Homo-oligomer: A and B are copies of this chain.
Amino acid sequence: MARNITPREQDYSQWYLDIIKVAELADYAPVRGCMVVRPTGYAIWEDLQAKFDRAFKETGHVNAYFPLLIPSSFLRKEAEHVEGFAPECAVVTHAGGEELEEPLVIRPTSETVIGAMYSKWVQSWRDLPLLINQWANVLRWEKRPRLFLRTSEFLWQEGHTAHATAAEAEEETVKMLNVYAKIMKEDMALPVVEGVKSEGERFPGALDTYTCETMVSDTKALQAGTSHFLGQNFARAFSIQFQDQNGEMQYAWTTSWGVSTRMIGAIIMTHSDNDGLILPPRVAPVKAVIVPISKDDAAFAELDAKARELADELNNVLGPLTVRVDEQNHMRPADRFFYHLQRGVPLRLELGEKDAAAGTVRAVRRDTGAREDLKWGELAERVPAILEDIQKSLYEKACAFRDANTYEASSYDELKARLEKGGWVKCFFAGSKEDEKKIKEETQATVRCYPLAEKDRTGKCVYTGKEGAHLAVFAKSY
């Protein structure tokens, strides 16, 4: 049934790009490495934004906006930070018809410029905690761009908080990781594992980086969101100081955390098939489509009117504009079905003359293809229930796939052999940053994280032989 889509088994990368193309999610921009997020893709982003934004506000955060351009000297104030980001920066050297005295970089992330502002705003313990989030575009020049997953410009949110104590900042870091994981599991149906990054994979300038790692359908890992405990590194670099309750000056403790448009790539890769996009209903902008069908114009008009009536009823239950009517009656029914199937609409409701005579619609699930006749009067109850069932099935399927492709290794040879066949491999690991580098050279895989759920398991490191090593997940990744 697949048209215009390279089968996943044949070429996974091309399959992914073909889905984006047929579902009209994104397009390449005229500038290399940059993308255009098309309306159908942007609608997914808007929906994700709304969900995350609500969760941020419920946890006491407010939004603000910081500038796009950062003096290049700012980046150099934190040694690890500049080393990590300077090679990826785009640099503005001229503006307003003149050469600038100091070049400006387009923000690759905003710790530095936000640090400079926080040092002005934070004076006393009463000003803390400062809990601010920003929705913005950032730019990191990409040599090997891939739509959604790795583009030079991308959209994201970056939370930046300042606290009076290390404990409070660490609590915030983990709290936001959990906010991310909850939405990713419950709404995006991603089989994420929460964990801590190894030294070699930490955010440049962080003491600890927490991550939501997910497995996509070729068994590679994808980092879907990260939360960083920055200690006092940025507070010292930018002089974020406050007078504590005893009248003494202290440096603040800061965090930062972000998720981006790359999450859309994770959704596509996790759930889709060779026919096209599959979207979990809770993040699908269009949750169901009603397709009235008749070769007779008068009959079509009647069916169309009924379809609109049913859609209005469903939109009252599911939210405005989430159920649409397909009026492309100039196309063949099979083409109209395929149109919505490729675009990942979770449920199709066909309304032909025979269905109308029976007072039913033929419901077809995108995930399984299962068909069922539903009475008009029961739609308001049954459609939300079917959508919830699709949501649940997709998550369970993704978790089962992750578990079936996760292995354990008790020696480095076993780890290497297993990684060659794909999947995630768990083993005890206590190697250094340099060890990680060597393993990456040999296996193309990295430590994705030390899973929090298994932090109490310790054993002998497969690489160094050290005892008391924690359990790590190794995998190739996007």
The answer to whether residues A132 and B87 also contact, given A93-B94, A153-B69 and a CB cut-off of 8 A, is no
CA distance A68 to B69 in the complex (A): 12
The answer to whether residues A43 and B62 also contact, given A31-B104, A143-B96 and a CB cut-off of 8 A, is yes
Does A116 have its Cβ within 8 Å of any Cβ on chain B? yes
The answer to whether residues A36 and B63 also contact, given A91-B92, A113-B30 and a CB cut-off of 8 A, is no
Does A106 have its Cβ within 8 Å of any Cβ on chain B? yes
A67 and B120 contact, CB distance less than 8 A: no
Does more than half of chain A's interface fall in helix, strand or loop, or is it mixed? mixed
Residues of B within 8 A of A153 (CB): 67-69
B66 and A29 contact, CB distance less than 8 A: yes
The chain B residue sitting closest to A330, CB to CB, is B126
A62 and B90 contact, CB distance less than 8 A: no
The chain B residue sitting closest to A137, CB to CB, is B68
| Count of chain A residues near B, Cβ 8 A | 56
Residues of B within 8 A of A103 (CB): 94
CB within 8 A of A90: which of B37, B92, B113, B120? Answer: B92
- Residue-by-residue, is A1-31 near B (CB-CB < 8 Å gives 1, otherwise 0)? 0000000000000000000000000010111
List 10 tightest A-B contacts by C-beta distance, closest first: A96-B141, A90-B95, A39-B62, A37-B65, A34-B67, A29-B67, A91-B94, A95-B141, A93-B93, A42-B64
30 contacts between A and B (CB under 8 A): A29-B66, A30-B74, A31-B70, A31-B71, A31-B104, A34-B69, A35-B67, A36-B66, A36-B67, A39-B132, A42-B63, A42-B64, A42-B65, A45-B65, A46-B63, A68-B106, A69-B139, A69-B153, A87-B96, A87-B97, A89-B96, A90-B104, A91-B95, A92-B106, A93-B93, A94-B103, A96-B141, A97-B141, A106-B106, A137-B137
Chain A interface (Cβ within 8 Å of chain B)?
27, 29-31, 34-39, 41-43, 45-46, 57, 62-71, 74, 87-97, 103-104, 106, 113, 116-117, 120, 132, 136-137, 139, 141-143, 152-153, 155, 321
